Structure 1
Amino acid sequence: MKLQNFIKAGLKTQISLLALFSKRKAGNKAFNIFCTPFGKTTYAATAVLQSAEALQMTCNGMLLRGYRWNKGAPEKLLIAHGFRSHTQRFEHLIPHLIERNYEIVAFDAPAHGLSAGKRINAIDYTKAISLITSRYGPFDVYVAHSFGGLAVVLSVVAEQAQNENKKIVLFAPATNAQTLATTFLKAMAITDPSTQKHFYNNVTRLSNGKNLDWFSIERCLPDLRSPVLWIQDQSDQIIPAAEALTISDLRYPNIEFLFTEDLGHSGIYRDAAVLNKVYAFLDS
């Protein structure tokens, strides 16, 4: 049995046993697991990272670590990684972005990479993006993957009503937090309505009354006027293509979709042909 399957089986057992005594505690435990990036990885300082200015800031009492390249360039760009990822996985973009004369900023999200913390949710990541923007922006371009894509869109729409002059590249963005939660609850075999209710109560408590559907890219689209390049692989097992296809059918004029095959969730931001499309979008 793979280690991740062993951990998953153990956590399922914990929740089911806890539910025998308290549905509230079981729901809270499930929510904490949902927000925990198990297998958090650190990384060595590569030549690209060593060439950057080291940055740090505090968000919700947690120290976040980041990088800045090409300070003082005429346009600023922010990179936002996904769940269980970190900045170093996007360092191959840096030389190409410097060639295009961007000032580039990237941070490890809370509970990821070299940043502090044990858990993250859409509220925390969106707040982090907003704080990074207020301190090191404003940004002309955002490049985001997966969970980072959801946080970027939520932040831009909430904080920047006049966003038509931004450019956003979304690699397989998490389109809807509700879908993530539904998938998680199914995977953890949490079917009891009372346990699910207490799971969702954490969202309304932390977000001042909002439900998970509020944390949705589709909800934001009428207020998102930025040119967007949305890249989605049709074989992605982490973020299925169905929601991207549905949004594509809405034909928002500011969103260009690029659907790929057999690149998966992470290969999508490493493929040379895809990246050439990204650079052409940025150059346009």
Structure 2
Amino acid sequence: MKKIINISSRLFPNTMAYFAYKTLTNPKLKKSNIHEIDILDKAYKEKILFRKFNIQFYQWGEPNNDPILLIHGWEGHSGNFADIIESLVEQNYYVLAFDGPSHGFSTKKQTNLLEFSDLIIFILQQYRIKKIISHSFGSMITTYALSRIPHFEIDKYILMTTPDTFLERINSISSQVGINEKTKQILIRKLEAELHTEVTKICVSKFVKEIHVKEALILHDKEDKIIPIRQARIVNENWINGNLEELENTGHFRILKEPFVMERIINFLKSN
């Protein structure tokens, strides 16, 4: 199949660029497991109308407690944080989360990281969030959102794995799909027209120089197969208030469930 796509991309570059674009802007739905569904069912749930989307929004704990916002990755959903949610509620945090545009139980329509980041900005400002936990590509979207509101101050921010450049994501998708370089450049031009910025400027190691975060912790497994550790290292090198902790035996997704990771998160949030 990949070979056929590669040949097609040489013959029909515009058509195949659109095919790759649809792959990038229509996240696949991943099923929730029983534990995730159980935790989501314990939340106070409401729908937030945001542009063309009905966004599924969740709240756990008491509203008078310290609020913290959880932001899932691309093709993820709020249930991915189930174990973290339990730990945070036990520590008397007011936990907020949402299923991003075209993710989880939110409306399914074509979307992009600009829309996702716009939603993050709305929630940050609406709920006056001072603490954030993000996972995977959610870390790129969150730092992008914060860079667009540089006056907004965050006290504590935990990035549970982080990519660096959006271009690496495009290269990965292009390789998976099997399109050639010419077709990839057509794809990039289409994305840049839609996002109103150059793809090379969508870069976490650039954003962290512009955002106002008092203290940040990056947790990333050395053997992460989805996002290589080198990307987190580059981000950390460019972040004055950042601190990278390189983990072992957690992978890209199990990091969200390991008890010692939960303990590290709580210790960081409670530290002065």
- Please, what TM-score do these two structures have when normalized by structure 1? 0.86
Which amino acid is 2:130 matched to?
D
Q: Distance in 2 between matches of 1:13 and 1:231?
A: 39
Gaps of 5+ in 2: none
1:266 aligns with 2:253: yes
C-alpha contact 1:43 1:113 (8 A) present in aligned 2 = no
Which residue, 71, 75, 80 being the options, matches 2:66?
75
* Residues 205-233 of structure 1: CA deviation (Å, up to 9, x unaligned): 1122x111222111112122311110111
1:277 corresponds, among 257, 261, 264, to 264
Aligned pair 1:207/2:198, yes or no? no
SS at match of 1:245: helix
Q: 1:54 matched to which residue of 2? A: 45
CA contact (8 A) 2:70 2:95 kept: yes
Within a 5 Å distance, the mapping from 1:12-161 to structure 2 comes to 13=4, 16-17=7-8, 19-20=10-11, 22-41=12-31, 46-135=37-126, 137-161=127-151
Q: 1:266 to 1:76 in 2, by over 3 A?
A: same
Name structure 1 gaps, 5 residues minimum. 1-8
Once residues 258 and 199 of structure 1 are traced to their aligned partners in structure 2, the CA distance between those partners, rounded to angstroms, is 35
Secondary structure, in 3 states, of the residue corresponding to 1:236? coil
Query: For residue 168 of structure 2, what is the amino acid of its counterpart?
Result: T
CA shift in 2, pair 1:268/1:103, >3 Å: same
- Tell me: CA distance 1:211–1:200, structure 2 relative to 1, closer, same or farther (3 Å): same
SS at match of 2:212: coil
Q: 2:221: which partner in 1?
A: 233
1:243 corresponds to? 231
Moved more, 44-53 or 235-244: 44-53
Distance in 2 (alpha carbons) for counterparts of 1:186 and 1:270: 30
Structure-2 change in CA distance of 1:175 and 1:55 (3 Å): farther
8 A Cα contact 1:185 1:191, kept in partner: yes
- The one-letter code of the counterpart of 1:143 is I
Deviation at 1:118, TM superposition (A): 4.0
Distance 1:84 1:237 in 2: 16
**SS at 2:267's partner residue?**
helix
Contact map agreement 2:47 2:56 (CA 8 A) in 1? yes
What root-mean-square deviation, in Å, do the aligned CA atoms of Structure 1 and Structure 2 show?
2.2
Q: Secondary structure at the match of 1:187?
A: helix
Counterpart AA for 1:176: T
In the TM superposition, what whole-angstrom CA distance separates every residue of 1:147-175 from its partner, at most 9, and x where no partner exists?
Answer: 11111111122124242x42111011222
Structure 2 CA distance for partners of 1:196 and 1:169, relative to 1, 3 Å: same
Contact persistence 1:19–1:25 (CA under 8 A): no
| 1:276 Cα deviation from its structure 2 partner | 1.0
Higher relative contact order (CA 8 A, sep 6+): 2
Report the 3-state secondary structure (helix = DSSP H, G, I; strand = E; otherwise coil) of the residue aligned with 2:174: helix
The residue number in structure 1 matching 2:162 is 173
Distance 1:205 1:253, change over 3 A: closer
Q: CA deviation at 1:198?
A: 1.6
Name the stretch that deviates more: 25-34 or 92-101. Answer: 92-101
1:223-271 deviation per Cα after TM superposition (whole angstroms, max 9, x unaligned): 2231111011111111111121233344x44111110122111011211
The one-letter code sitting in structure 2 at the alignment partner of 1:144 is: S
Given candidates 198, 209, 226, the residue that maps to 2:186 is: 198
**Matching residue of 1:3:** none
**In structure 1, what is the equivalent of residue 176 of structure 2?**
187
Q: TM-score by structure 2 length?
A: 0.89
* Farther off after superposition, 234-243 or 41-50: 41-50
